[in-house]
Structure 1
Amino acid sequence: MSTRRGFLLGAAAGAAGAAAGATGARLLGEDEDGIRAGATAAERRFLETAGAAAEFSDVGRLGTHRIVWSLTTTQPLVALTFDDGPTPEYTPRILDALAAVGATATFNVTGYNAVQHADLLRQVVAAGHELGNHTWTHEDLSRLTPARTREQIVRCAEEVEQLVERRFTSFRPPRGELTGSALQICAELGYEVRLWSCTRGPGDSGDPREVARYVGSTPLAGDVVGLHDGIGRGTFAPRAAFAINLSARREVEVRALPEALARLGERGLSVVSVDRVQAAGS
């Protein structure tokens, strides 16, 4: 029996045009299971897109919300951000390096780590740094249903805000992988979505001096630098090869930070959190 959802799925495959060819017409009227079973990999991507669109067909008026890569400012300010923490391996050393030069930063925390290391989280807040929502367990949002995406974002907010009595105002998606459902949820929560305009540098350098030179010389006023104080999904499989590799990269970043901060200062740039660049205005 034909259903509205089956029609939408079939229509999406038909809209693929050259990619799906005549298959789109064949799919019209079939049930969803039959559609998915007979679809090619390319067709399945269209079907999944249609399914997501159907689930969000009743979106209300959510207004206009920003996605930020960098900021417009005439002030000599650079924003540093640290993702995936807090962790005892990296966060205390980062806090010490920032305090040594009177800098602030934005810490985009994963809720699981924040709860596990609540004292560290409170130290971040007490030192005057900004917090951002970075999901509960650093899942790949592109692989999650809208419901699971909501759980990742909302649970992080509920757990962390209860610990520090401070509301998030921003969200950074893990690995920068932003989906339509995540955008909608952020709009509902009033979050600004923040990405980045500068990283630790190209390649996979294991030399802290090289990373320090890049981070210290590349950003311009208004840039948002993306760094880390945790290892993302590696938190849950610390002995896995990818987690060991991430740990090595994070160690290089942390060791590079004092010199990078010094180089930024020599260029006349002050290091602050994203919200402080915004507050300074243009």
Structure 2
Amino acid sequence: MTKDQVPPRLLTRRRALLAGAAAVTAAGTAGVFAKVAGDTDKPVRTAAPAAGAQARPALKPSSYRLQPLTGYGPPRVAPRRTLIRREPLLSVSGRGRTMVLTFDDGPDPRYTPHILDTLREYDVRAMFFVCGEMAAANGDLLARMADEGHVVGNHTWSHPLLTRLSTRRIREEMERTSDVIEDTYGERPVWFRAPYGAWNRTAFRLGAELGMDPLAWTVDTLDWTAPGTRTIVDRVGNGAAPGVVVLSHDAGGDRSQSVRALRAYLPQLLDSGYFVTVPERHYA
């Protein structure tokens, strides 16, 4: 029997099979696009199989078919581990004339907003080592720090002398502050600074357990002594150098001199070619 002599009923059945397969394929494709392009995670109901005989059984999903291509998604890396240090970091590394400005003891609604205004005016990022009790009372300022790209570090809850505290008390001071920072800033801190610069082995160990590196400073403005705006400006200018970390305060007393000094020395640093930024973490 030749091709032209095939009975019409066979052509009709073949067409039905092809039409059925095409309908199943189209339904499956529609289901996939609905799942990917939809705005919700509601499961998509699978379309009922089209009428007609199946050419072969439907393939079952396999682990291979469900694996994403290796070129997509973040690479798999080993968990990062924070080193337990024996002394705090005093400076930072960076390209060119890089410096870091840090402010302790805040946030304080009387002075911190003015410091943030100056940093925003010159498009500069800084670090704020906050006390938990101050952060809990001024969450809006931590939220602003996050919005404007500043780094928030842990400066304990109540600014105690850590070398006189038990291990339990030190952990409580650090952990409670990290919790508040996470709630208001949006991320847990990865830097901590001991009040008064008083470090011990327990503080280093607990800080590392909480995922934080200890950062001290290179230039101390001693602004907490209220030496005068001009003196603070001179101390920053005379101590400026690549990798320097400057210590100032935005709380803990009258910090109006610190506010005025920042407005004077920040543009001077930038005009001198310094790049004022925040440090990067280095993991083991």
After TM superposition, list the pairs within 5 Å mapping 1:92-107 onto structure 2. 92-107=113-128
The answer to whether the 8 Å contact 1:216/1:261 transfers is no
Question: Secondary structure at 2:243's aligned position in 1?
Answer: coil
1:24-173 equivalence runs, <5 A: 64-66=83-85, 67-173=88-194
1:204, distance to aligned residue in structure 2 (A): 4.6
Post-superposition CA distance 1:11-36 (Å, at most 9, x none): xxxxxxxxxxxxxxxxxxxxxxxxxx
Superposed CA RMSD in Å reads 2.1
C-alpha separation between the residues in 2 aligned to 1:202 and 1:106? 17
Query: 1:86 Cα shift?
Result: 0.6
Which residue does 1:262 correspond to in 2?
267
- Residue 7 of structure 1 is matched in structure 2 by none
Larger radius of gyration: 2
Superposed CA offset, 1:81-131 (max 9, x none): 111111111100100111111111011111111110111111111111001
Q: Residue in 2 aligned with 1:36?
A: none
| Length-normalised TM-score, structure 1 | 0.66
Contact 1:105 1:274 in 2 (8 A): no
Q: Per-residue deviation at 1:159?
A: 1.9
Is contact 1:69-1:195 (8 Å) kept? yes
Deviation at 1:266, TM superposition (A): 2.1
Q: 1:101-250 counterparts in 2 under 5 A?
A: 101-200=122-221, 204=225, 206-231=227-252, 247-248=253-254, 250=255
User: How far off its partner does 1:176 sit?
Assistant: 0.7
- Distance in structure 2 (CA, Å) of the matches to 1:114 and 1:201: 23
1:201/1:215 contact within 8 Å kept: no
Change beyond 3 A, Cα 1:141–1:94 = same
TM-score normalised per structure 2: 0.66
Change (3 A) 1:271 1:210: same
Q: Which aligned runs of 4 or more in structure 1 are off by greater than 4 angstroms? A: 201-205
Instruction: Structure 1 unaligned segments of length 5 or more: list them.
Output: 1-61, 232-246
CA distance in 1, matches of 2:251, 2:160: 14
For residues 202 and 103 of structure 1, the distance between their equivalents in structure 2, rounded to whole angstroms, comes to: 21
Q: Which residue, out of 267, 271, 276, partners 1:271?
A: 276
Q: Which has the higher helix share?
A: 1
Query: Helix, strand or coil: the match of 2:273?
Result: coil
Which stretch of structure 1 is more off in the superposition, 67-76 or 253-262?
A: 67-76
Partner residue, 1:240:
none
Counterpart of 1:139, as a letter, is P
Q: Sequence identity of aligned pairs in percent?
A: 34
| Deviations 1:204-246 (CA, angstroms, capped at 9, x unpaired) | 5632122112213422011111111111xxxxxxxxxxxxxxx
SS at 2:246 equivalent: strand
Q: Following the alignment from structure 1 to structure 2, what is the Cα–Cα distance between the partners of residues 141 and 91?
A: 25
Other-structure match for 1:37: none
Q: How many residues align?
A: 200
Q: Mark the runs of 5 or more structure 2 residues left unpaired by the alignment.
A: 1-80
Q: Cα offset for 1:73?
A: 2.9
